[in-house]
A and B are shown apart, each in its own frame.
Chain A
Amino acid sequence: MSAYLSINNIEVIYDHVILVLKGVSLEVPQGKIVALLGANGAGKTTTLKAISNLLRAERGEVTKGDIQFKQRRVDQLTPNELVRGGVIQVMEGRHCFAHLTVEENLLTGAYTRTQSRAEQKASLEKVYQYFPRLKQRRGSQAGYTSGGEQQMTAIGRALMANPEMILLDEPSMGLAPQIVEEIFEIVRDLNQREKVSFLLAEQNTMVALRYADFGYILENGRVVMEGEAAELRSNEDVKEFYLGLSSQGRKSFREVKHYRRRKRWLA
């Protein structure tokens, strides 16, 4: 497994006082989908923003450790330089440009590329191939499209930058299970056909582990567990705490107080 994107023992502090990541290390191999799992406030988004250098806009700072992409240090770059280098983030909550049409949204994604009109048209067509729904809605303002369509727009917009790696933050947020499934299918497609690597932050552990190759679990700003996705799925602790399953099958909330398994790791 060659280190493609590697995070080495980073610490992130917000506002000079709030310690959010306490030594996180992880690796994304080329061409794989890696899931970053954990509850609210575990540090998933912070980890992604540390990579994409969006932290500084939120008064956050990587104070220790380093981040490398293709053997090159990237934690001191601007987001613009990083996007040019092939890594782009799709932010949590979609963040489409509400007053731009879907097509204009996609075109802004190509800002960092210098393309001829024909090339630009070709990349648009490619995105529409993956997201046929966007083609139908190309002329409507993104603010008036559905949540699923906005998520597609956000991913499509990132694709327009021709990335080698996408940092995808919580794509399932606020979407119907069917749409979540649709979006993850497209992610897998992109991964296999376009060879885009993904680092995927998700709360929806069940879905994420079905599509990912590898997973990390974060708690309180630390990686508490890592492994092959299949391995994690069958792990007793993960089942209990993240998938809502216990050794007796699906857990009933009537019995939830009776017995609580102790975590086997220290958080």
Chain B
Amino acid sequence: MQFFLEVLIGGLLSGVMYSLVALGFVLIFKASGVFNFAQGAMVFFAALSLVGFMEKGAPLWLAFVLAFVVMTLFGIATEKFVLRKMVNQPPIALFMATIGLAFFVEGLAPLLWGNAVRPLDIGLVDEPIPWILDNWNMVISSFDLAAAGIAFALVAVLALFFQYTRVGRALRAVADDHQAALSIGIPLQHIWALVWAVAGFVALVAGMLWGSRNGVQFALTFTALKALPVLILGGFTSVPGAIVGGLIIGASEKLAEIYIPPVMAGWFGGNFGGIEGWFPYVLALLFLLVRPEGLFGEKHIDRV
């Protein structure tokens, strides 16, 4: 039982890390109805900028602020040079534009900051918390716990922002109908620049946490792949969905990794390790059959 709990909690906490990446997707999907293929590249770019500034001697907080400025400028530039031309175009065109953007960023980031794998130390240690180890005999990483705390705070703030503020409402309006939003005087440019900057911020937080765990390297762009099943489960348009989806994916992949292989081996013999790697995708696939809009996503409304 204790072991089960330990696996479960470890899974939930690592799931939160996926949520962080998924959150960036949700933001942009909510505000422009487009799947931002470049989100993974933005995570990479943000983390690289952070490390880059730290290598130049900036303390963590300053590097964080500077990296945020970089991501904001990036957001504004994206709006100005890519999105502005795309108003009123079909979503697929916007999607293609983000693919182009992804390649551009993947090339630009190493050009600016170099392409070596670099460690990132943000002062969090990836070690079991002694107090929990002593009292309950469970291994829970303090790093995971801190990351989860940050992610939860971010999600709470964003969810409230979308639901209750004037700008949040405008963001959702823009996602529903660009033209109608324009017609009632919502300035699309500002809204888009804003949401890309916020998505950049989320990418920065995700890049910081992922980077300090795995090192800042090109592989960070693949964190986006881990976010996909989370999005399908939670729904592309829901901020709370991103966190719930992350928790489910994280917990289920860890539990599956531990408990399925022995059973399978008992039936068929052989080795069934590494389920963790593909289990989330199977889960997402099954989920698509039952509830394509995800747990909390917006249902597609069609008039007949």
Q: In chain B, residues 107-133, which have Cβ atoms closer than 8 Å to a Cβ of chain A?
A: none
The answer to whether B55 has its CB under 8 Å from any CB of chain A is: no
A79 and B183 CA atoms in complex are apart in Å by: 6
The answer to whether A95 has its CB under 8 Å from any CB of chain B is: yes
The answer to whether A220 has its CB under 8 Å from any CB of chain B is: no
A52 and B185 CA atoms in complex are apart in Å by: 10
Specify the chain B residue showing the minimal Cβ separation from A158: B184
Q: Digit string of B18-46 for contact with A (CB within 8 Å is 1, else 0)?
A: 00000000000000000000000000000
The answer to whether A68 has its CB under 8 Å from any CB of chain B is: no
A143 and B177 CA atoms in complex are apart in Å by: 12
The answer to whether A240 has its CB under 8 Å from any CB of chain B is: no
- Taking a contact as CB atoms under 8 Å apart, the answer to whether A88 and B185 are in contact is yes
The answer to whether B187 has its CB under 8 Å from any CB of chain A is: yes
- Taking a contact as CB atoms under 8 Å apart, the answer to whether A157 and B184 are in contact is yes
A108-B186 contact given A57-B87, A100-B172, A143-B301, CB 8 Å threshold:
yes
- Taking a contact as CB atoms under 8 Å apart, the answer to whether B169 and A108 are in contact is yes
Q: How many residues in B have their beta carbons less than 8 Å from beta carbons of A?
A: 24
The answer to whether B291 has its CB under 8 Å from any CB of chain A is: no
Minimum C-beta distance from A52 to chain B (A): 6
- Taking a contact as CB atoms under 8 Å apart, the answer to whether B172 and A54 are in contact is no
The answer to whether B178 has its CB under 8 Å from any CB of chain A is: yes
Q: Out of A79, A90, A97, name the residue touching B182 (CB < 8 Å).
A: A79
- Taking a contact as CB atoms under 8 Å apart, the answer to whether A95 and B166 are in contact is no
Residues of B within 8 A of A80 (CB): 185-187
- Taking a contact as CB atoms under 8 Å apart, the answer to whether B183 and A96 are in contact is no
A185 and B114 CA atoms in complex are apart in Å by: 68
Q: Out of B180, B185, B237, name the residue touching A84 (CB < 8 Å).
A: B185
The answer to whether A109 has its CB under 8 Å from any CB of chain B is: yes
Q: Digit string of A125-156 for contact with B (CB within 8 Å is 1, else 0)?
A: 00000000000000001011001000000000
Specify the chain B residue showing the minimal Cβ separation from A107: B169
Residues of B within 8 A of A123 (CB): none
Specify the chain B residue showing the minimal Cβ separation from A93: B180
Q: Out of B178, B183, B184, B301, name the residue touching A98 (CB < 8 Å).
A: B301
Minimum C-beta distance from B39 to chain A (A): 22
Q: Digit string of B195-238 for contact with A (CB within 8 Å is 1, else 0)?
A: 00000000000000000000000000000000000000000010
Specify the chain A residue showing the minimal Cβ separation from B184: A109
Q: In chain B, residues 46-93, which have Cβ atoms closer than 8 Å to a Cβ of chain A?
A: 87-88
The answer to whether A24 has its CB under 8 Å from any CB of chain B is: no
Residues of A within 8 A of B170 (CB): 108, 111
A97-B185 contact given A111-B166, A143-B301, CB 8 Å threshold:
no
- Taking a contact as CB atoms under 8 Å apart, the answer to whether B172 and A99 are in contact is yes
A162 and B181 CA atoms in complex are apart in Å by: 16
- Taking a contact as CB atoms under 8 Å apart, the answer to whether B88 and A58 are in contact is yes
The answer to whether B256 has its CB under 8 Å from any CB of chain A is: no
- Taking a contact as CB atoms under 8 Å apart, the answer to whether B184 and A161 are in contact is yes
Residues of A within 8 A of B186 (CB): 80, 108, 111-112
The answer to whether A82 has its CB under 8 Å from any CB of chain B is: yes
- Taking a contact as CB atoms under 8 Å apart, the answer to whether B172 and A57 are in contact is no
Residues of B within 8 A of A141 (CB): 301
Specify the chain B residue showing the minimal Cβ separation from A160: B184
A189 and B185 CA atoms in complex are apart in Å by: 24
Write 22 A-B pairs (CB below 8 A) sorted by A numbering. Answer: A52-B183, A57-B178, A57-B179, A80-B185, A80-B187, A83-B184, A84-B185, A91-B179, A95-B183, A96-B177, A96-B180, A97-B176, A97-B180, A98-B176, A98-B301, A99-B172, A99-B298, A100-B173, A108-B181, A109-B184, A111-B169, A143-B303
Binding site for B on A (CB under 8 A): 52, 54, 57-58, 78-80, 82-84, 88-91, 95-100, 104-105, 107-109, 111-112, 141, 143-144, 147, 157-158, 161
For the complex with contacts A95-B180, A112-B186, 9 further pairs of A-B residues with Cβ separation under 8 Å are: A52-B183, A54-B179, A57-B182, A78-B187, A83-B184, A84-B185, A111-B184, A147-B303, A158-B184
